[in-house]
Amino acid sequence: MSQTTTAPVADLFDRRDKVVMGTYGRPAVTLTRGEGTRVWDADGNEYVDLLAGIAVSVLGHGHPAIGAAVAAQVSRLCHTSNLYVNEPQVLLAERLVALLGTDARIFFGNSGAEANECAIKISRKTGRKEIIATDGSFHGRTMGALSITGQPGKRTPFEPLLPGARFVPYGDVAALKEAISERTAAVFLEPTLGEAGVIPPPPDYLAAARALCDETGALLVLDEIQSGIGRTGAWFAHQHEGVLPDVVTLAKGLAGGLPIGACIGIGAAGSLLGPGEHGSTFGGGPVVCAAALAVLDTIESEGLLASATRVGARLAAGIQAAADAGVPGIAGVQGTGLWLGIELSTTTPGAFEAAARTAGFLVNGIAPDRVRLAPPLVLTEADADAFLAALPGIAAAARQAA
């Protein structure tokens, strides 16, 4: 009979290597439990989680609201497929539409890549075939989503991919204007480049993209898979800019750790796909939708949008102060809310990540000169201050190791 056992850490790593595909390399630690902003590994070491499962665990670990919602729904009805209506799905769709503040329709899947696949299919229903995306972008690893991901290292091994994708420099309005035309089905943009290291665009970039799409009839698709659900201090990052896209894609933080994706078609874009043109057996299931509703309720009731803004600003200011003070290896910081990229100078992201872990903090070395922070929205000022106090030592240890 299959069961979970407590095994020696080294043994568990070796066993994993034999049965799990090597797509992630070998992880550094084995995490066994979490509570709030803390996680513990199999050796009993405690860490402040400043990554949240890559912007996923927005309520931290073990939040009772998610546990209660999931337990109640599992005991009532676990799965229905989309041949039948389930109430949590309808409630979640209604809630997301209300948060957007406009007419929209939603397709639920199980991941961010699936949400973007749905958005690609919506763009094809315009009758046009060309998609414009940006250098450095990341939209997923399925074949369609990979086709519009502007990172050659991820794309090249799997070519030929979906035809019709064009790439322009991120943040370059002139390049976008030159590329877009009446042949363009959609422009796919991240409000801030996430996997490239949390790199924001110049001011008014999204507004310029909106205007160009309006001029040419192309759809503006905003990939909010990392930036959505409070990460930047607003429900959706584009709300900071006052720009309304045609399609928004969501995933990561929406269900606080359970797998979900959502493709939101706004206005006419919400009606382009018809019966039989898309589907998902598990998408929008009652359990994950119940979890997502609990996440949205908790973000609202605990004031986590304002907290993300306040604590994120404190964290960013402290990192920038370290850079301004000449802490070796720290060049600056970019980002919004609790979504920040630490710019490095004389050290490597891998060395910084390892040094932070030794100091009791989980971060993510994401680009050649960047480390990503995407902590739970429940991160406290005390958590932020603890990291800032440790930052000079982390940077010193990273430089020594590099």
Asked if the bond preceding 160 is cis, omega within 30° of 0, the reply is: yes
Annotation says 49 is catalytic? no
Tell whether residue 94 is among the known ligand binding residues.
Answer: no
Report residue 33 as tokens: 């439990």
Catalytic residue among 252, 352, 383, 387: 252
Flag whether 33 is marked binding: no
Sort 166 into a burial class: Cβ within 10 Å, 0-12 / 13-18 / 19+.
middle
138 a known binding residue? yes
- Is 237 assigned a ligand-binding role in the annotation? no
Instruction: Round to whole Å and give the CA distance between 245 and 215.
Output: 14
226 is in an annotated binding site: yes
* Catalytic annotation, pick one of 167, 188, 223, 387: 223
Residue 345 counted as an annotated binding residue: no
C-beta neighbour count of 119 within 10 angstroms: 30
Rg (CA), the chain: 21
Active site includes 138?
Answer: yes
Report whether 137 belongs to an annotated binding site: no
**Token reading at 168:** 């322009």
Determine how many CB atoms are found less than 10 A away from the CB of residue 381: 12
Q: Is 26 marked as a binding-site residue? A: no
Residues 245 and 266: beta-carbon distance below 8 Å: yes
Active-site residue identified among 107, 138, 236, 387 = 138
Residue ranges for the known binding site for N(2)-acetyl-L-ornithine are 141, 280
Kindly list the catalytic residues.
138, 223, 252
Residue ranges for the known binding site for pyridoxal 5'-phosphate are 112-113, 138, 223-226, 281
Residue ranges for the known binding site are 112-113, 138, 141, 223-226, 280-281
